[in-house]
Structure 1
Amino acid sequence: MRVFGIDIIKGSVRSRTRRPVYALCRVEDGEILGVEEVTGFRLQRILAAEEPDILAVDSIQEIAADQRELYTFLQSLPPATKLVQVTGGERTESLPKVAARYNISFNKFDPYAEARTTAQVAALGAGVEVIAFENTTDIVASRHRSPGRGGWSQNRYARKIHGGVMQKAREIEARLKGAGLDYEKKETKAFGGYSRAAFKVMAPREMVPVHSSRGADVQVRVSGRELDRIRFEPRSSRPRYLIVGLDPGTTTGIAAVDLDGNLVLLTSSRQMTMSDIIEELYRAGKPLIIASDVQQMPYSVEKIRRAFNAIPYTPKQSLSVEAKYDLTAPFSYTNDHERDSLSAALDAYRSLQNKFRNIVKRVKPGVDLDEVRARVLRGQPLDTVLTDLQGAPAAEKPAAPPIEPAPERPVEDERVMALDGIVKRLRTYVQELQEDLRERDREAERLRQSVRRARSATEQKVRRDAELATKDAMIESLREQLRDERRRSRRLKKRLERMQTVAKIELSEDYTPLKVLDSLTREGVRALQEGVGIAAGDILYVPRPHGWGRGVVKDLAGTGVRALVVGGEEPPDPHLVQLAREANLPLLPAETVSPEIRGRTGAAKTGAVEEAMGRWEEGQKEFLREQEAERVEYLFKEYRSEREKEVRRGG
Structure 2
Amino acid sequence: MKVFGIDIIKGSVRSRTRRPVYALARVEDGEVLGVEEVTGFRLQRLLAAEEPDILAVDSLQEIAADQRELHAFLQSLPPATKLVQVTGGERTESLGKVAARYNISFNKFDPNAEARTTARVAALGAGVEVIAFENTTDITVSRHRSPGRGGWSQNRYARKIHGGVLQTAREIEGRLRGAGLDYEKKETKAFGGYSRVAFRVRAPREMVPVHSTRGADVQVRVAGRQLDRIRFEPLSGRPRYLIVGLDPGTTTGIAAVDLDGNLVLLSSSRQMTMSDIVEELYRAGKPLIVASDVREMPYSVEKIRRAFNAIPYTPKQSLSVEAKYDLTAPFSYTNDHERDALSAALDAYRSLQNKFRNIAKRVGPGYDLDEVRARVLRGQPLDTVLADLKGAPAAKKEEAPAAEAEPERTVEDERVMALDGMVKRLRSYVQELQEELRERDREGERLRAAVRRARSATERKIRRDAELAAKDATIESLREQLRGERRRSRQLKKRLERMQKVAKLEISEDYTPLKVLDSLTREAVRALQEGIGIAGGDVLYVPRTHGWGRGVVKDLAGTGVRALIAGGEPPDPNLVRIAREGDLPLLREEAVRPDIRGRTGAALSRALDEAIAEWEEEQKEFRREQEAERLEYLFKEYRSEREKEVRRGG
Give the structure 1 partner of residue 363 of structure 2.
363
Alignment of 1:299-318 (within 5 A): 299-318=299-318
Paired residue type of 2:94: S
Superposed CA deviations along residues 515-563 of structure 1, whole A, max 9, x for unmatched, are xxxxxxxxxxxxxxxxxxxxxxxxxxxxxxxxxxxxxxx9899xxxxxx
Paired residue type of 1:372: V
Paired residue type of 1:139: I
Query: In 1, Cα distance between the equivalents of 2:11 and 2:239?
Result: 37
Query: In 2, Cα distance between the equivalents of 1:306 and 1:56?
Result: 39
Structure 2 SS opposite 1:268: strand
Structure 2 SS opposite 1:88: coil
Paired residue type of 1:332: S
* TM superposition shift of 1:399: 5.4
Give the structure 2 partner of residue 490 of structure 1.
none
Superposed CA deviations along residues 356-382 of structure 1, whole A, max 9, x for unmatched, are 000001111111111110111011111
Give the structure 2 partner of residue 101 of structure 1.
101
Give the structure 2 partner of residue 446 of structure 1.
none
Query: In 2, Cα distance between the equivalents of 1:165 and 1:268?
Result: 64
Query: In 2, Cα distance between the equivalents of 1:286 and 1:319?
Result: 25
* TM superposition shift of 1:393: 2.4
Structure 1 SS opposite 2:137: strand
Query: In 2, Cα distance between the equivalents of 1:331 and 1:258?
Result: 15
Query: In 2, Cα distance between the equivalents of 1:274 and 1:556?
Result: 71
Structure 1 SS opposite 2:306: helix
Alpha-carbon contact 1:386-1:394 (below 8 Å) kept: no
Superposed CA deviations along residues 456-478 of structure 1, whole A, max 9, x for unmatched, are xxxxxxxxxxxxxxxxxxxxxxx
Query: In 1, Cα distance between the equivalents of 2:317 and 2:547?
Result: 92
Residues 249 and 172 of structure 1, relative CA distance in 2, 3 Å threshold: same
Alignment of 1:437-586 (within 5 A): none
Paired residue type of 2:10: K
Give the structure 2 partner of residue 28 of structure 1.
28
Residues 151 and 330 of structure 1, relative CA distance in 2, 3 Å threshold: same
**5+ residue gaps in structure 2?**
405-544, 549-568, 574-613, 626-650
* TM superposition shift of 1:634: 5.0
Residues 12 and 395 of structure 1, relative CA distance in 2, 3 Å threshold: farther
Residues 158 and 289 of structure 1, relative CA distance in 2, 3 Å threshold: same
Is 1:206 aligned with 2:169? no
Is 1:132 aligned with 2:132? yes
Residues 636 and 319 of structure 1, relative CA distance in 2, 3 Å threshold: closer
Give the structure 1 partner of residue 397 of structure 2.
396
Structure 2 SS opposite 1:18: coil
* TM superposition shift of 1:340: 0.7
Structure 1 SS opposite 2:318: coil
Query: In 2, Cα distance between the equivalents of 1:632 and 1:10?
Result: 92
Give the structure 2 partner of residue 160 of structure 1.
160
Structure 2 SS opposite 1:386: helix
Superposed CA deviations along residues 493-533 of structure 1, whole A, max 9, x for unmatched, are xxxxxxxxxxxxxxxxxxxxxxxxxxxxxxxxxxxxxxxxx
Runs of 4+, deviation exceeding 4 Å: 397-403, 554-557, 580-584, 630-641
Paired residue type of 2:310: A
Alpha-carbon contact 1:384-1:394 (below 8 Å) kept: no
Is 1:220 aligned with 2:181? no
Alignment of 1:413-428 (within 5 A): none
Query: In 1, Cα distance between the equivalents of 2:61 and 2:622?
Result: 84
Structure 1 SS opposite 2:112: helix
Paired residue type of 1:236: S
Give the structure 2 partner of residue 519 of structure 1.
none
Give the structure 1 partner of residue 54 of structure 2.
54
* TM superposition shift of 1:394: 3.6
Structure 2 SS opposite 1:221: strand
Give the structure 2 partner of residue 80 of structure 1.
80
* TM superposition shift of 1:17: 2.1
Give the structure 2 partner of residue 330 of structure 1.
330
Give the structure 1 partner of residue 593 of structure 2.
none
* TM superposition shift of 1:174: 1.2
Is 1:141 aligned with 2:179? no
* TM superposition shift of 1:396: 2.5
Query: In 2, Cα distance between the equivalents of 1:248 and 1:581?
Result: 87
Structure 1 SS opposite 2:386: helix
* TM superposition shift of 1:128: 0.9
* TM superposition shift of 1:196: 0.9
Query: In 2, Cα distance between the equivalents of 1:353 and 1:309?
Result: 22
* TM superposition shift of 1:583: 6.2
Work out which of the two has the higher radius of gyration on C-alpha atoms and give 1 or 2: 1
Residues 214 and 320 of structure 1, relative CA distance in 2, 3 Å threshold: same
What is the CA RMSD across the aligned residues, in angstroms? 2.9
Superposed CA deviations along residues 95-114 of structure 1, whole A, max 9, x for unmatched, are 11111111111111211111
Give the structure 1 partner of residue 263 of structure 2.
263
In the comparison of the two structures, how many residue pairs are matched?
Answer: 429
Query: In 2, Cα distance between the equivalents of 1:333 and 1:85?
Result: 31
Query: In 2, Cα distance between the equivalents of 1:328 and 1:640?
Result: 99
Query: In 1, Cα distance between the equivalents of 2:343 and 2:111?
Result: 39
Query: In 2, Cα distance between the equivalents of 1:581 and 1:399?
Result: 128
Give the structure 2 partner of residue 346 of structure 1.
346
Query: In 2, Cα distance between the equivalents of 1:333 and 1:239?
Result: 25
Paired residue type of 1:114: E
* TM superposition shift of 1:402: 8.0
Give the structure 2 partner of residue 466 of structure 1.
none
Give the structure 2 partner of residue 295 of structure 1.
295
**5+ residue gaps in structure 1?**
404-553, 558-579, 585-629, 642-651
Paired residue type of 1:12: S
* TM superposition shift of 1:633: 8.7
* TM superposition shift of 1:228: 0.9
Give the structure 2 partner of residue 505 of structure 1.
none
Query: In 2, Cα distance between the equivalents of 1:148 and 1:92?
Result: 53
Residues 581 and 343 of structure 1, relative CA distance in 2, 3 Å threshold: same
Residues 582 and 170 of structure 1, relative CA distance in 2, 3 Å threshold: closer
Give the structure 1 partner of residue 246 of structure 2.
246
Alpha-carbon contact 1:289-1:310 (below 8 Å) kept: yes
Query: In 2, Cα distance between the equivalents of 1:249 and 1:347?
Result: 20
Query: In 1, Cα distance between the equivalents of 2:623 and 2:269?
Result: 94
